[in-house]
Amino acid sequence: MNIALIAHDAKKELMVQFCIAYCRVLSQHNLLATGTTGKLVSEATGLPIQCFLSGVHGGDQQIAARIACNEIDLLLFFRDPISAKPHEPNEMNLLRLCDVRNIPIATNIATAEVLIHGLERGDLEWRNIVNPPQH
Ligand SMILES: O=C(CO)COP(=O)(O)O
């Protein structure tokens, strides 16, 4: 499955720790990420990650385009609810597109834990029908 990772600056370390903890599960899937998040996670875990532009340069919109095409099966987007972000409207669109496509999304680590266990258990296998593997 295609799993997209995005973390605001205040949540990047949490995302790194989460990905280290679930490295084995994540290694069985294709990972995509915004630039800085992807760089930090791949350096910490050794996992191959397709890195897009950084969020401020439109990386979240590159991921949004794939979500619009139903090509992302799970989005882990660790958000900082405290500080304002200049590209917040784009991020709201990202969340909206997940709802358009019924793509499972976690915006905090508590939900991410539930989703990753569900992924491991096979709860998201229906995504293989909606978005069949390319190879
Ligand atoms: O800004 C972000 C989300 O909107 C994250 O982007 P980076 O991973 O490049 O910091």
Please write the tens of the pLDDT for every residue from 73-104.
999 999 999 987 777 888 899 999 999 999 99
Grouping H, G, I as helix, E, B as strand and the rest as coil, residue 32 is: strand
Most ligand 1 atoms within 8 A of CB, residue of 54, 62, 107 to mutate: 54
Residues classed as catalytic: 60
Ligand 1 touching residue 42 (CB < 6 A): no
pLDDT at 91: 87
| ipTM for the complex shown | 0.95
Ranges assigned E (strand) in 47-117 = 49-51, 74-78, 105-106
Domains and CATH numbers, the chain: 2-129 (3.40.50.1380)
Binding-site annotation: residue ranges for substrate: 8, 12, 34-37, 54-55, 87
| Placement of tokens 């760089």 in the chain | 39
- Report the pLDDT value the prediction gives residue 107, as an integer from 0 to 100: 97
User: What was the pLDDT predicted at 90?
Assistant: 84
At 20 the pLDDT is: 98
State which residues of the chain have pLDDT below 70. Answer: 135
Element (H, E) at 31: strand 30-33
